[in-house]
Chain A
């Protein structure tokens, strides 16, 4: 079944810098991709959902890139600010996961220093 690897596990950047997080997955038939944000003591909130047909997805203050050839999903937070400090999780959904179950990456703890 699908396996998802997320890097780095921890990331510290200064305010205004970019933060880059990457996930690689194994199933070439993966079709739905997600990024979630989890603030301390809170639950997971959806940042963006991406379909396999879209390679570049712009959000508010971030960009999600999907490279299907390399089976890589990336999140780039541009001009990070302290409010972006949180844990970020990618998730991938494919039929091979069983009922299109979401397989989560291991998370990246982002710290943005003032």
Chain B
């Protein structure tokens, strides 16, 4: 049963546009993440939020920014998309360290 919800699931846009992906989890978890999965299916962590504090911020381009209103929501904003941003963006959540990550269905971005 899905408990991490992402919207939209699919988005096509042109280079230079702004895109936002939304994520909500109903598991009561305290930490949420965004991962990027490229065309080779490689998974790279982008951001994580714990109690509204950014605790991991990998060296992603500055056009990417996470936005959180509360611990159940973590959105991803991309300002001025580039072709290399085409990928699947996966939202995930977990409770505490070492526990299982629960993933959303993913948001596929295609930049033309």
Q: How many residues does chain B have at the interface if contact means C-beta atoms less than 8 Å apart?
A: 21
A112 and B7 CA atoms in complex are apart in Å by 32
Beta-carbon contacts of A87-114 to B below 8 Å, as 1s and 0s? 1010101000011111010110100000
Tell me, rounded to whole Å, the shortest Cβ–Cβ distance linking B58 to chain A.
9
How far in angstroms is the closest Cβ of chain B from A109? Answer: 7
CA distance A46 to B4 in the complex (A): 14
Q: Which one of A93, A99, A107, A109 contacts B55 once the chains associate, using CB atoms below 8 Å?
A: A99
Candidates B43, B45, B97, B102; contact of A100 at CB < 8 Å: B97
Pair A44/B42 contact, Cβ less than 8 Å = no
What distance in Å separates the Cβ of A108 from its nearest Cβ neighbour in chain B?
Answer: 10
Docked pose: A19 CA to B56 CA in angstroms:
35
Q: How large is the interface on A (under 10, 10 to 19, 20 to 34, 35 or more residues)?
A: 20 to 34
Asked whether, in the complex, the Cβ of B104 is within 8 Å of the Cβ of A43, the reply is yes
- Digit string of A14-31 for contact with B (CB within 8 Å is 1, else 0)? 000000000000000001
Return A21 CB to nearest CB of chain B, in Å: 14
**Nearest B residue to A98 by beta-carbon distance?**
B56
Q: How far is the CB of B64 from chain A (nearest CB, A)?
A: 18
**Provided the pairs A101-B45, A107-B41, A107-B42 are in contact, do residues A43 and B98 lie with their beta carbons within 8 angstroms?**
no
Q: Kindly state whether residue B82 has any CB partner on chain A within 8 Å.
A: no
Determine how close the nearest CB of chain A comes to the CB of B84; give it in whole angstroms.
18
Cross-chain contact A31 with B42 (CB below 8 angstroms): no
Chain A residue with the shortest CB-CB distance to B41: A107
Interface CB pairs A-B, < 8 A, 16: A38-B41, A42-B105, A43-B104, A43-B105, A44-B90, A44-B103, A98-B55, A98-B56, A99-B50, A99-B97, A100-B98, A101-B56, A102-B45, A104-B43, A107-B42, A109-B41
* B interface with A by C-beta (< 8 Å): 31, 40-43, 45, 48, 50, 55-56, 90, 97-106
